[in-house]
Amino acid sequence: MRKIILFGLFLATMGFAENKNESNNSEVDMEESPIEGVTFKFIETNGIKMRLAEIGEGPLILLAHGWPESWYSWRHQLIGLSKAGFRVIAPDMRGYGQTDAPSEIDQYDIKHLTEDMIGILDALGEASAYIIGHDWGAPVATYSALFYPKRFTKLVIMSVPYSGRQDQNPIEGLKAVFQDNFFYILYHNEPNGVAEKEYDKSPRDLISKFYQSPNAPSKPPKITDSKRSAGGFLSRIGEPKGMPDWFTQKDLDYVVGQFEQSGFRGGVNYYRNIERNWKLTEDLKDHSIKVPTLFLAGTEDMVIRGASKEALQSSMKEAIPLLEKVILLPNIGHWVQQEAPEDTNKILLEFLK
């Protein structure tokens, strides 16, 4: 059966910025962490400067966020996991927040992204780490464990399952399926930066619409025509009638501020490398993950499209023979570690310890 791997944000509800610098300037380097006990540090690695949020002492846990996110998506895990005796690091991934955002699209391919993870370990003087990834961070974490099994002792994949390299070029597969209809991954792959130009005009509109619980009440979308020619992305999502209790106004303001600072081009460039990543990993199509692995998602996460625990286990078992658990949290959507932080932390600690 043909596999179409959907990297990144979910299907249904779901930076070019003219004044954004490739390297963030020193004026913003002094930002203080909004989370008590969490500190920032900067490292130089793999040709870029990265900002790391850090807390705790003990075995290292590396947290890789997705789109459109930042280190802040892990705020609950930074506190909970560090209290359990771990050193926890959550970077702004390449292109996000105060981490550098190279202008070249190919600087965001899976080779660079996984080398960033290794670069963090090297800069911190750590021989190995547990690695956890959500959304786009999930394939980054997965390929980090695949490329560097001696550096990552356990793997946690959130929201985006891994069933191995597909036979068909994924972008060509999506074009065949959606044709003239709108689909966000194809939109992100259009030339001239049309996606990030739309998003940079209103980061608050984007974040407030995306960071919602499943079935949250909203106004009707302005665009209901499925054709791409009818318009871009944000008008296809109805304006929410409020924010969820797990994502406060303070949270919204902080995340919006991060994208006002960095723009959206860096994150969108991850999608522009899907085809390139497929070509770069041709020699790995018969390789499998060789570290113990946990998959975690919400039952209402649109990335898994209603798949059962058994179906997910079956689809991943060949590519991840050491898949120990598949856990689906009832009535939880895409933002699992933020929507259900206590359950997420408990599951992570049980697996990691």
Strands (E), the chain: 39-45, 48-55, 60-64, 87-91, 129-134, 152-158, 293-298, 323-329
Whole-angstrom Cα distance, residue 327 to residue 20?
40
Amino acid at 344: T
DSSP designation for 31: P
Cβ-proximal residues to 203 (8 Å cutoff; 6+ apart), any chain:
256, 259, 260, 264
Residue at token pair 């002792």: 153
User: Cα 71 to chain center, whole Å?
Assistant: 10
Q: Which residues participate in catalysis according to the annotation?
A: 135, 334
DSSP-derived 3-state class of residue 288: coil
User: Cα 352 to chain center, whole Å?
Assistant: 20
HSE, CB side, 13 Å, CA atoms: give it for residue 149: 10
Whole-angstrom Cα distance, residue 63 to residue 154?
12
Cβ-proximal residues to 192 (8 Å cutoff; 6+ apart), any chain:
none
Whole-angstrom Cα distance, residue 193 to residue 299?
33
Structure token pair of residue 148? 């560097």
The DSSP bridge partners found for residue 55 are 88
Whole-angstrom Cα distance, residue 306 to residue 304?
6
